[in-house]
A and B are shown apart, each in its own frame.
Chain A
């Protein structure tokens, strides 16, 4: 590990600025999370219900029942705002579950490989090499086309194509921590492997894990949207931001809002996690490089 970390505390103004970089993205993500849970209920949103009288209405239209379609309606007359929030729900579910699965699996494997080394490490890293030879979206497309569409399959596929990043980062962190004095001390005192891994090495892996998780979250959300856009992600009847944007491309000349506004929401969500990841990186480990 490099020991040349900045020793002096940052000036107060900069510290406040970096607090804002953590708080604001968390606020945005939190608001979107709450919206994703309650808005579809409030609107009584049903993805399969078509109301052809109010289809393709521009943003701000007052509908027949007196409600205002803030972002307009889509090609089957659904309120675009409610549809987007239902899509955000899918994005968040896929993003969080994938992080959990890929993080746990990749993190554990990285921990084991880094700690025990030898042939286990070699095998793991060779598998990682092969897997990194696939552009990750390509691997996802290939697997989804085999497994079939569906939210669960998307989560499985994205976990498979993302565990490597976690494994690699944790492995290199473990390799760095393994020779630290406090770990050596624990070993000299006769601590079991279990104790050394969970009590001395693992705490040192939390910071890079958090950073990678926040960066990966954005990639996973974008990947889900891309899969759904290509028609191999969320199945028919499950609104995803990607499939809403895809459906809107048929109506670009007559209803520009169907494709554009959900994309802006996606941008805001991914940007928030990106800013959060950057801020965490600066806070926790200024020397941790992007794993991509």
Chain B
């Protein structure tokens, strides 16, 4: 088990290094000169040159890269050009909101989709199954930002039940959570269904039935344990989609989170903040996947023994 965890940890560190490097390369490709952006239109050429020297932009790219790696490791992404505070502070302010939103969406998705998946699996190819499968297909095709706009129109503009923007209390979380959870619900429902159907023909399930156990006891402790394996993996993989979805959802609802910060940093050309947002989101994803891998090995001993 320990060897497995260490291998996963090394892979995670490698991936994080890759992410940080890609961000460095991409941001350096931006045609705009960051020193010019900070100094402003009115600065003289000398002022800009001095700023470039201060920021280390005149040094060889390799040195810049080394310095950047060291700073990133320490959580230093430079200052925000527009707010003139360290970029990481801006992220620190909004990160808890996004984390809360993502966790809530995950929880809602699990609570809704596992019963739906079980229902569909128990009724394979009958009414209940058809209905659940069709609904999840439609949900998967829904443009997240559009359903957000439609919900705003219905629940806050027309019915005036819920606030339309910002984070002014628990009621502000309801619509963003639903919008973020929807695609997740579709995928988890399908997975629960197919996982349960797959284990249905196995010997130990037949044994459990032959012993005269109720269908509920057969499904939950017996079948579910094996059906859970793909569910856990995909939950981890989909967490990235969830974080990506947060970018769009937060923009629709003007929700103060990392995604909203990311989009506004693009509009303001605040590249340090953009860079920090991307690294933080990707890092969150890598860490969640590392946890999922470990959890996965814990649920299914075959995984940690195989390699």
Contacts and interface: CB of A to CB of B under 8 A. Distances in A.
Interface stretch (B18-26, B84-92, B219-227): B18-26
Contacts of A252: 149, 152-153, 157
Contacts of A271: 137-138, 141
B261 interface: no
B137 A142 contact: no
Contact of B263 (A136, A222, A230, A256): A230
Contact of B146 (A133, A137, A138, A259): A259
Contacts of A292: 187, 237-238, 241
Interface in A227-247: 229-232, 242, 245-246
B141 A134 contact: no
A32 to B, nearest CB: 14
B23 A138 contact: no
A229 B145 contact: yes
Contacts of A259: 146, 149-150, 153
A292 B140 CA distance: 12
A191 to B, nearest CB: 33
Interface string A28-41: 00000000000000
Interface stretch (B169-177, B280-288, B294-302): B280-288
Nearest to B27: A146
B240 interface: yes
Nearest to A229: B145
Contacts of B281: 135, 138
A156 interface: no
A135 B149 CA distance: 22
Contacts of A218: 141
Interface stretch (B37-45, B75-83, B244-252): B244-252
A208 to B, nearest CB: 17
Given A146-B29, A292-B237, A138 B282 contact: yes
B19 A130 contact: yes
Contacts of B240: 132-136
B142 interface: yes
B302 to A, nearest CB: 17
Nearest to A263: B146
> Interface SS of chain A: helix, strand, loop or mixed?
helix
Contacts of A278: 137
Contacts of B22: 130, 134
Contact of A274 (B27, B137, B262, B285): B137
A256 B137 contact: no
Interface residues of B, number: 50
Chain B interface SS verdict (over half): helix
Given A134-B282, A229-B145, A267-B146, A145 B266 contact: yes
Nearest to A135: B244
B243 A138 contact: yes
Contact of B141 (A126, A133, A270): A270
A179 interface: no
Interface string B230-243: 00000001101101
B195 to A, nearest CB: 11
A136 B248 contact: no
Which of B15, B237, B267 counts the most chain A CB atoms within 10 A?
Answer: B15
B274 A137 contact: no
Max chain A C-beta neighbours (<10 A), residue from B30, B147, B238, B278: B278
B88 to A, nearest CB: 18
Contacts of A232: 266
A225 interface: yes
Contact of B248 (A130, A145, A226): A226
B120 to A, nearest CB: 15
A230 B26 contact: no
Contact of A270 (B14, B143, B187, B237): B143
A137 B244 contact: yes
Contacts of B244: 135-138
A256 B153 contact: yes
A260 interface: yes
A285 interface: no
A85 interface: no
A218 B139 CA distance: 13
A259 to B, nearest CB: 5
A129 B237 CA distance: 12
Contacts of B266: 141, 145, 232
Contacts of A130: 14-15, 18-19, 22
Nearest to A253: B157
Nearest to B22: A130
A266 interface: yes
Given A126-B18, A137-B244, A263-B146, 12 more contacts: A130-B18, A130-B19, A133-B286, A134-B19, A135-B243, A145-B30, A146-B27, A226-B144, A229-B145, A242-B143, A266-B146, A267-B146
Interface of A: 126-127, 129-130, 132-138, 141-143, 145-146, 218, 222, 225-226, 229-232, 242, 245-246, 248-249, 252-253, 256, 259-260, 263, 266-267, 270-271, 274-275, 278, 292
Closest 10 A/B residue pairs (Cβ): A135-B244, A130-B18, A263-B146, A137-B244, A271-B141, A270-B141, A135-B240, A145-B266, A133-B15, A229-B145
11 contacts: A129-B14, A136-B240, A136-B241, A141-B247, A145-B30, A230-B251, A245-B143, A252-B153, A259-B146, A271-B137, A274-B137
